[in-house]
Amino acid sequence: AQKVTQAQTEISVVEKEDVTLDCVYETRDTTYYLFWYKQPPSGELVFLIRRNSFDEQNEISGRYSWNFQKSTSSFNFTITASQVVDSAVYFCALSSPGAAGNKLTFGGGTRVLVKP
Amino acid sequence: DTGVSQNPRHKITKRGQNVTFRCDPISEHNRLYWYRQTLGQGPEFLTYFQNEAQLEKSRLLSDRFSAERPKGSFSTLEIQRTEQGDSAMYLCASSPYRGGRTDTQYFGPGTRLTVL
């Protein structure tokens, strides 16, 4: 069975601070995909990034960056220079070709509050 | 390119009533998913379709729940004899399917169900 754990339930920062969200996953599959989604107060899940298990290269996309480490089964996500509009719940998710239709298994989410 | 749409956005019903939700996926996407999200939790997979075929159902989907995608385009999710425990956000997502590759799922705004 697949499992995703987000140990941080809520993080509060002041604008312009960096925020790092932790994600630890469990899967027996050798091929899998990891995702981060953002859920603002409006409720819609917004896709942010996706990574496959064969590519551990860490990248930066604008103010977002991620750190994928297979050795520790972690896929952490960082928002640099946070802004008030970054306030939302962030979900880490896992999928694999072996799962039903590539269904997503989500973590419990981390609520980020960015104060002005 | 329009996104995934869901109707209604909010539904309040009395226990025991039947409700039906609709999801219109992104037009070229042949995979469609339903998830349920309760307050403070991550979304949980319910079922998915590839074109008009329903290929997997979660154990969360009791016999009071039925989903259809009759022409491989829009989908409906019906809950019969609603219970208070059915109160949740029902999320629909769609993705393309390109033969074994895991593609990103894009979510609609959700339908928030409240059962009184």
Angle B3-B6-B7 from CA coordinates, rounded to 5°: 145
Pairwise CA distance, residues B112 & B86, whole Å: 10
The answer to whether the Cβ–Cβ distance between A101 and B105 falls below 8 Å is no
Give pLDDT tens digits for A71-100: 999 999 999 999 999 999 999 999 987 666
Give the mean pLDDT of chain B. Answer: 92
To the nearest whole Å, the CA of A81 is away from the closest chain B CA by 26
| pLDDT for the residue numbered B102 | 63
Count of A–B CB contacts within 8 Å?
Answer: 68
Question: Which whole number is the average pLDDT over B23-31?
Answer: 92
Separation of alpha carbons A98 and A1, rounded Å: 11
Mean pLDDT of B37-57: 93
For residue A107, the one-letter residue type is: G
CB contact under 8 A, A103 and B50: no
b/e burial code for range A72-97 (CB count within 10 A of at least 16 → b): ebbbbbbbeebeeebbbbbbbbbbbe
Cβ contact A101–B33 (<8 Å): yes
Contact A91, A77 (CB under 8 A): no
